[in-house]
Chain A
Amino acid sequence: MTLDVPAPRFPFRRVDPLQPPSQYARARATQPIVPVSLWNGRRAWLVTRYDDVRSVVTDARFSGEFANPDFPSVTEARVVVDKTERAFVGMDNPRHDHYRRMFTKEFSTRRMIALRPKMAAIANRLIDELMAQPQPADLVATLAVPFPSLVMCDLVGSPYEDHRFIIECAAGRHGLLQTPAQAAQKARELADYFMRLIRRKEEAPADDLVSRVIEEHVRPGNLSREDFAEIGAMILRAGHDTTTNMIGLGTLILLNHPEQAAALRDEPELVPGAVEELLRYVSPVQFSPRRVAMEDVAIGDVVIRKGEGVFALNPAANRDPSAFPDPDRFDVRRDASHHVAFGFGIHQCLGQILARMELQVVFPLLFQRLPNLRVAATEGEIRFKDDMQIYGVHNLPVAW
């Protein structure tokens, strides 16, 4: 390869808003581990093949410590929030597992499956409210935002009236355009909010995540309130933002493939697989996972030097034809369950079963109750989240 060609600036702009940047497919076919330059001029590497992504994120020579001064980021603001991140998402083992294991119980598969009737009740109520609105109505504001928020608030024990504040903090931290001071401020506000929630639940425990973790880990002295507040803020952010984007963009993709939306509606056995395909196709957490090389590592025909950053891009891996034949074709009948939209390795999403259950509940209900659902947007009216680290749509005007 030629190193005298300046590395292109990352992140790239999408040409087609429903597809990953075209540079990923080009790199995968010609130079699957490709250098880019970041906002600060530093070189980092994009990993674009499915097998390479899985091997990088399970290779201990690559660290996931956000505190590492060489850890790569897409914005200057993100550096600031990475440095102050105290949740296990930014830790290597053994510290990662130590903290994560205090929370795995809360998101266990059987517990999440048991939440489905409650999720369905919430979704049905929101669809009632949507149907009472004048047409066209915004599906993001009426369903995609409030549905995961209501589920999350119920699970965690935070009052629902706080969800706007939580979303604003998540957006303020995950944007691509804000200043470092703004991002740090929003990160701080949410951790402070969670600390107040901990204090409230210490006074008045209830049947929720915060109260249980206080009882099982904070009171016995395994977990400080400060650490719990940071982890709690991470859980709130992750639980509101990502599923919202899957519902918004996922609905748009299904409406672009009406025969597949109809199949999802009429054939319940297709639902789990369709949700995996939507996760693969959308891959909203678009600049993840990230790592930094702790020593020189040779992969394929490149050597990633100690201290260089790596983006093991899940949207690129999820379109690798060697893992997903004809990868740009959206097909709810394919087996896409090995996608890496939730990441892979020890940092794979803690709330992934929750997200799966939410999506498995909401999509069939939406299309069963609104069989004539359609996009009702004028050209350019749908605003895609080119300004955010988590990809999706800001709005989706629909009629039915």
Chain B
Amino acid sequence: MGVLKVRVDVEKCIGAGHCVLRAPRVFDQRDDGIVILLDDSPVRELREAVHKAADLCPSQAITIEEIP
């Protein structure tokens, strides 16, 4: 299994907050509710949580690249 590369699009983010609930070590919210990426290369144990966060994001502001 390779490395995860996570990107967030603050322009798309509507602050729904799923990502913070799912993967609080990877995502946070700024004071105004918009996403902050805490860790763009999360460890493999967080892979499932990060994918879940991306799937649940209603404004599709999270993209994940799996680098082999």
Which residues does A use to contact B, with CB under 8 Å? 58, 97, 100-101, 104-110, 112, 337-338, 343-346, 348, 352-353, 356
Contact = CB atoms under 8 A, between A and B. Distances in A.
Interface residues on B, range: 10 to 19
B41 to A, nearest CB: 23
Contact of A345 (B20, B28, B59): B59
B33 A346 contact: no
A105 B14 CA distance: 10
B32 interface: yes
Contact of A101 (B28, B33, B52, B58): B33
Interface string B20-40: 110000001101111000000
B29 A345 contact: no
Main secondary structure of the interface of B (DSSP, over half): loop
A344 B56 CA distance: 9
Query: Closest 5 A-B residue pairs measured CB to CB?
Result: A104-B33, A104-B15, A109-B17, A348-B58, A109-B20
Given A97-B14, A101-B32, A105-B31, A346 B58 contact: yes
Main secondary structure of the interface of A (DSSP, over half): helix
A353 B21 contact: yes
B3 interface: no
Given A337-B52, A353-B21, A348 B14 contact: yes
A108 B17 contact: yes
A343 B58 contact: yes
Nearest to A340: B58
Contacts of A109: 17, 20-21, 29
Nearest to B19: A109
A105 B52 contact: no
A345 B56 CA distance: 10
A104 B55 contact: no
Nearest to A97: B14
Given A104-B14, A108-B15, A338-B55, 10 more contacts: A97-B14, A101-B15, A104-B33, A104-B34, A105-B32, A109-B20, A337-B56, A345-B59, A352-B17, A353-B21
